[in-house]
Amino acid sequence: FSGPFTDVVTTNLKLRNPSDRKVCFKVKTTAPRRYCVRPNSGIIDPGSSVIVSVMLQPFDYDPNEKSKHKFMVQTTYAPPNITDMEAVWKEAKPDELMDSKLRCVFEMPNENDKLNDIDASKSAQVLNTSKQDGPMPKPHSVSLNDTETRKLVEECKRLQAEIMKLTDENRHLRDEGLRLRKVAHSDKSGSPTTLALRDNGSNSLPSLLVVIAAIFIGFFLGKFIL
């Protein structure tokens, strides 16, 4: 019998009749309260066999205690026209009885078997968990945080507004320059050369500011995209 013995442990006995006559059998034990035998008696036809289940009841196993439990299988030829099994055993003579004795052995699984069972159980749990959870997600790429993104967006908006303002000022100055040139042509006492220099100086400053603002926007937009 293999432990642990916290539940019923069953062992099967196979009884075979090699003779050409019917054989009666009976199974006895030295510890009838500890075992349940089914069937514990019966008849085996010639050339046939029967399976006897021996069920050990749960108990507290002590490895230091030697087992003294024994079984005995008694057999005898069945008389013709048998009707009463109890009468057969009572009337059977000692020289007509055949018996086989069996000694019970209790075994506990060794530590290696326990470790193998534990490892197999853990492996099965890991596989089930992996199937349920699915594949591991891939790591996300590194990106700017929300604060830096908001700052770049606000800076771009500010620079765009600055460009629009400088463009309006440039248009206003260009219109003002045209007006002054018209006044200079109509005013003969004025100096055309001086007016032309003044007009060119006025137009060059806003254009330079527009170029600088465009460079700043390109820089910040490139940083934001990267």
| List of the chain residues with pLDDT < 70 | 111-145, 187-226
pLDDT value for 189: 54
Q: Does any domain span residue 19? A: yes
Nearest Cα neighbor of 102 from 76, 70, 134 is 70
Same domain? For 99 and 153 the reply is no
Same domain, 15 and 88: yes
Q: Is 167 left (phi over 0), alpha (psi -120 to 50) or beta?
A: alpha
Q: Does a structural domain hold residue 156?
A: yes
pLDDT in tens, 12-57: 999 999 999 999 999 999 999 999 999 999 999 999 999 999 999 9
Residue 123 maps to a domain: no
Instruction: Give pLDDT, residue 126.
Output: 44
Task: Give the model's pLDDT for residue 63.
Answer: 81
Determine the pLDDT at residue 197. 44
- Tell me the sheet residues that pair with 103: 70
Domain boundary among 69, 86, 103: 103
Q: Are residues 84 and 162 in the same domain?
A: no
> What's residue 187's pLDDT?
64
What is the domain-level CATH number for residue 54?
2.60.40.10
Residues 99 and 157 in one domain: no
> 159 lies in which domain range?
149-183
Domain count, the chain: 2
Indicate whether this model's pTM tops 0.75: no
Last residue of a domain, one of 65, 84, 103: 103
One-letter amino acid at 90 equals: K
